[in-house]
Structure formats: C-alpha cells, structure tokens
Amino acid sequence: MSPMNYSVLNSTTAKKLQTPLKASVFLLTTVILASCGLDSSSTSYYTSPSEVPSSPGTENPGTENPGTETPDTETPDTETPDTETPDTETPDTETPDTETPDTETPDTETPDTETPDTETPDTETPDTETPDTETPDTETPDTETPDTETPDTETPDTETPDTETPDTENPDTENPDTENPDTETPEPVPRNPDVAVDSEMTGFQSSAFSSLKANSSTFKKFEDAIGYVAIRDDASSFTETEVVTSADGVESEVPVDNREGDNFTAFDKGVVRGDMVQPASVKAPIAVNLQADSGTVKVDAGLGSFLNPDFNYKAVYQNFDSQMQVGHVYGIINSSVVGDVSRVANVYVQGHLTNQADIDYLKQVNDGKASYTGNATYIENIHLGDTGAFEPVNGSSSFNVDFVNNSVKGELTFNGDFKYMPAGNKIGIKATIDGNTFAGKANDIDTAGGFYGEDAQFLGGIYQHASVEGGKGTTPGTGTKFQGTFGATKQ
C-alpha cells in the first residue's frame, strides 16, 4: 500500500465518523474488542499497515490519523458519556462491515486506553506520589532537625565548655604569671652589674695583749692578764672609756667606740689598736710597716720618749691580687728599764670590699650559693706567760657561702702538734653575712671578715678564740688562747 492510499484511507474513515453518534459507537466497539484480547496483536497490526487486508474502503478509517485518536475528544468526559452505549448505534448498517470493521484497526490500537489518562493519569503522578505526605512536615519537621538533633546536648557546654578551653588550658596560668607569669615568662636572666669595688680600704683586726705580774718592778707594776676586748673594724676608735665588770667580778677600763676611726689605709702600712685593748698602758695606736719582715717602733705609754717601751715585731701577710690582704703582726713590748712588758698578737684582713650591687647579683645566680677554697694561719702561745712557739703556722681553708640566706660556714685545717688547737686540728667558722661583710661566734671562736674584689672574688677574715667575752683572762690558757686568719678564692 502506498502512502497515498494510506492518506485516502484516513480521509474515508474520517467521513464515516462525521456524526458524534457514529463516533461513539466506534469507540465503544473499540473498547469491546480490546477487552476481547486485541492489545499486543492489534498494536502489531497497527504498526504494520502493509498487512492490512486490501479493503480500501474500510482501511481508511481514522485509525491512522484519527484526530480522534489522541485528541482531547477521546479522553474527555463527553466522549464516554452514558450516551455512548446506546444500542441504537450498533444496528447501524455500518456495523455489518465485520470484514474489516473499524473495530479491527480502530482506536483500540492507540486508543485512549493505551495511552489513556489512566496510563499517565493524575493518579500516576498524583499528589499522592509526591504529596505533602511525602515531604510532609513530618519528613523534615522540627523533629527532624529539632533542637534534639543538634541540641545543646550535641555541642553542649560539656563538649567545648569552659572546661575544654577554660582558664586552666590557656588560663592566666598559661600565659599568666605561670606561663607569662613570673613562672612562664621566665624571669629575666640576672645581669651582672658593671660596678667597681669600694675604692676605700677597710678591714678587721683583733689584738691580744698580755702581761705577767712577775715582771713588775719599782718602776712599773703588772698583773697576770690577757684579753683582746673585741674585734675592731676600720671605723673603730674612741675618746672615752667606761668601767666594765666581768663575770668573775674583775673591773676593767674599756674604750667606747665612737666610729670615727680610719684604721686601714694601705697594704704596706697598718696600725695595731693596742690602745683599744689596754687604754691605761697604751695611749695611741701603734703604727707598723707591713712590708718589713721585722721592725721596732715606740709605744706611747705616757712615760715620755725616754721611758716609753719599744714594740719589737714581725709581720707576715698574704696578698690576693691587689684586692685583699691577710696577715699577722706579733711581738714583744719591751722596756730598757723593766724588761718585757707585754706580748702582742695582732691579726687582720684588709682590702677593697665588693660593691653591694655585686652581692645582690650573686643572690640571683646559682641559687645564691658559692664555694671558696684557700689558705689559713694559726698562732698560739699568745700569753706572755706561755712557753713554746709563738709564730703563725699555715693551713688550708674551705667555705660554703649562701648569699640568699646570709650564711658563711667554713673549716680551717692544720697539720702539726699544738697546745691549744681544737680536736682534729680543725677550726670551724660560722658567721652571718651583713651586706658585704660577715661576723659571728661559734665554738668559742669569734670571727669577722668580708668579700673583696669584683663579684666577691675573695673571702677573707680573722678569728680569735674567746672562752669568755672579749677573751679576758689572767694566766696562760684562760680568756683567749689562739688566733689566726683565712683567705680564699671563689671557685
């Protein structure tokens, strides 16, 4: 069949279905035939128009171009009214065309029943397909992303609460006075001040004087006596005295220190303050040459130049750079008229004291601790009535210093046989620091000294045995029995 014939067939069919009634009958017939099984076969028939029987008159129905096939008139409600099923239509002479009734290739092939609204009706994609029930409020309701989904309980204060990054994590203890505190921002490194030592010299000395009653004469009466009264410093001096009664009831004249002295002025010159020990017999300080191994000087005893005794002495010393010196001046006061008047034993330390700023600096380093080692001297038989060697012996010294707690502890060690040396030939030193000097008493030993040179490079001092205050005694072995010096370098 040619395309042209197919076109004519469509035209003929259209003419036959001009009346609504006929169209209705035709549609009804189509439905009936479809229900009888003409679904897949009729579709095949429709898609192969060349197989249609050669009844042209019946082949051109609106099966091929039925505007009625897919028009709205096929699926409208007016198309399938109750008037569709009247029997008055079926008896028509048109229905006899049973040969190739329009019902064979009717709209049953592509009737609305094939792609009817029921195929893609509103029920196919109805609101029930994507109804509100599909994405209702119950789908993403407040219960879906409610506060219970990401509630405060999800990221509550317990998740990143103040306890997560509290002041304990980055608190004032992290950057505070523990992180940036005086514990986290580390304390600045102590800075060693660039300061000079004390330009003026200063120091300490102790002078023991003794006498024997047996040496009395018609010109001078003596007593058995010994004493040093006190350790004197650079400023010690007096113009007045007072009478002091000792524990055993003995009265003595003692100078009242007016703090106006200047006893240490040079490493080669010194003064022995015998006048502050026996003011009645010695009227003025005794000047000595520290650089000489020995010497003789007049002692002002108030007797005039002819009768005043001489002080025959020896001097030994040790220098620590140009900053400190320790030494002994010892000898006999002798009169050409009465003989030996007194035995004198003097020990001293002098030099340039460390600047206080350096002492403060040392408190900030190494926990304020320092150790020193060096030399020591010892002399005994300092009473005029004593027998045996009367000269210094050398030993060693070691000290532990705590600048923070202001303490000095040391030990002096000697070798040899001694009359009055403590057990083990060891002498313990204990003192309290006051600025750049120290003083103390322990185990019947008075001590005083200081720190000399930059950064307290040197430690030096003197010590004096004192069984009673001031070492005041009578016969040998009472009051005070020995004395000495120590000088050490910081390690």
Q: What is the pLDDT of residues 155-196, one digit of tens each?
A: 445 444 454 444 544 445 455 455 555 667 777 889 999 999
> pLDDT grade, residue 24 (50/70/90)?
low
- What is the rounded distance in angstroms from the CA atom of residue 304 to the CA atom of residue 473? 29
- Please name which of 379, 323, 331 lies closest in space to residue 352, comparing C-alpha atoms: 323
Reported as a single tens digit per residue, the pLDDT across 318-332 is: 999 999 999 999 999
> pLDDT grade, residue 61 (50/70/90)?
very low
Q: What is the pLDDT of residue 347?
A: 99
At 347, give phi and psi (nearest 5°). Answer: -125, 150
- Residues, the chain, total? 491
Q: What is the pLDDT of residue 146?
A: 41
At residue 384, does pLDDT exceed 70? yes
Residue with tokens 């002819």: 306
Q: What is the pLDDT of residue 216?
A: 87
Q: What one-character-per-residue DSSP string does 31-45 give? A: HHHHHTT-SHHHHHH
Cite the beta strand spans of 108-231 per DSSP E: 201-211, 225-227
Q: Residues of 167-194 as b/e, b for ≥16 C-beta within 10 angstroms?
A: eeeeeebeebeeeeeeeeeeeeeeeeee
CB-hemisphere CA count at 13 Å for 448? 15
Mean pLDDT of 451-475: 97
- Please name which of 426, 424, 423 lies closest in space to residue 463, comparing C-alpha atoms: 426
Q: What is the pLDDT of residue 182?
A: 60
Tell me which of 180-194, 240-254, 384-398 is least confident: 180-194
Higher pLDDT, 85 or 30: 30
- 233's tokens: 């410093």
Q: What is the pLDDT of residue 179?
A: 54
Check: CB of residue 66 under 8 Å from CB of residue 16. no
Mean pLDDT of 258-270: 97
Q: Which domains does the chain have, with CATH numbers?
A: 1-126 (no CATH), 201-490 (2.40.160.90)
Q: What is the pLDDT of residue 471?
A: 94
Tell me which of 65-69, 240-244, 309-313 is least confident: 65-69
Provide the mean pLDDT of the chain. 77
Reported as a single tens digit per residue, the pLDDT across 414-434 is: 999 999 999 999 999 999 999
Give the amino acid at 237.
S
Q: What is the pLDDT of residue 218?
A: 83
Burial (CB count within 10 angstroms: exposed 0-12, middle 13-18, buried 19+), residue 444: middle
Mean pLDDT of 237-259: 89
- What is the rounded distance in angstroms from the CA atom of residue 384 to the CA atom of residue 223? 11
Higher pLDDT, 245 or 443: 443
- What is the rounded distance in angstroms from the CA atom of residue 351 to the CA atom of residue 25? 145
Q: What is the pLDDT of residue 55?
A: 41
Higher pLDDT, 406 or 220: 406
> pLDDT grade, residue 27 (50/70/90)?
low
At residue 128, does pLDDT exceed 90? no
Mean pLDDT of 351-356: 99
DSSP 320: E
At residue 13, does pLDDT exceed 60? no
Q: What is the pLDDT of residue 429?
A: 98
Q: What is the pLDDT of residue 219?
A: 79
- What is the rounded distance in angstroms from the CA atom of residue 466 to the CA atom of residue 236? 20
- Please name which of 306, 311, 301 lies closest in space to residue 340, comparing C-alpha atoms: 311
At residue 60, does pLDDT exceed 90? no
Q: What is the pLDDT of residue 180?
A: 55
Q: 127: helix, coil or strand?
A: coil
Mean pLDDT of 5-32: 50
Reported as a single tens digit per residue, the pLDDT across 468-477 is: 999 999 999 9
Tell me which of 52-61, 269-278, 370-379 is least confident: 52-61
- 64's tokens: 């091929």
Tell me which of 79-88, 279-288, 310-319 is least confident: 79-88
Mean pLDDT of 344-354: 99
